[in-house]
C-alpha cells in the first residue's frame, strides 16, 4: 500500500520527502520519480546507511505521515 501511495502521489510527496531527507537534491527527487527502490538507494548513498535502515526510515516516516485509520 505504501508503495502505491508514494508512486501515485509523487508530485505532492516530493516536498515532504525533501523535508525529511534534506540531503536529497532536486535531481535526486526527479530520478526517484516515486519509485521506492530508487528512494531507498538515494537515502543509502546520501546518508551512508544500509538498505535495511533506509527501509526502516521510510516506513517510519510514511507511518507518521499517513497513520492507519
Whether residue 69 has pLDDT greater than 50: no
Helix axis angle, 36-47 relative to 51-65, nearest 10°? 120
Instruction: Tell me the residue length of the chain.
Output: 69
Tell the residue number behind the cell numbers 520519480, with chain if given. 33
H or E element that contains 44: helix 36-47
Q: What CATH number does the domain containing 55 carry?
A: 1.10.1470.10
Number of separate domains in the chain: 1
Decide: 29 and 18 in contact? Cβ < 8 Å. Answer: yes
**Cα–Cα nearest to 24, from 2, 63, 54:** 54
Structural domain that includes position 58: 2-65
Q: pLDDT value at position 58? A: 94
- Residues 5-41: pLDDT tens digits? 778 888 888 999 999 999 999 999 999 999 999 999 9
Amino acid at each position: 500500500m505504501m508503495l502505491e501511495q508514494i508512486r501515485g502521489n509523487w508530485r505532492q510527496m516530493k516536498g515532504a520527502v525533501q523535508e525529511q531527507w534534506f540531503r536529497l537534491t532536486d535531481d535526486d527527487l526527479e530520478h526517484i520519480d516515486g519509485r521506492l527502490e530508487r528512494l531507498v538507494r538515494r537515502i543509502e548513498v546520501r546518508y551512508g546507511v544500509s538498505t535495511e535502515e533506509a527501509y526502516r526510515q521510510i516506513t517510519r516516516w510514511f507511518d507518521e505521515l499517513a497513520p492507519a485509520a
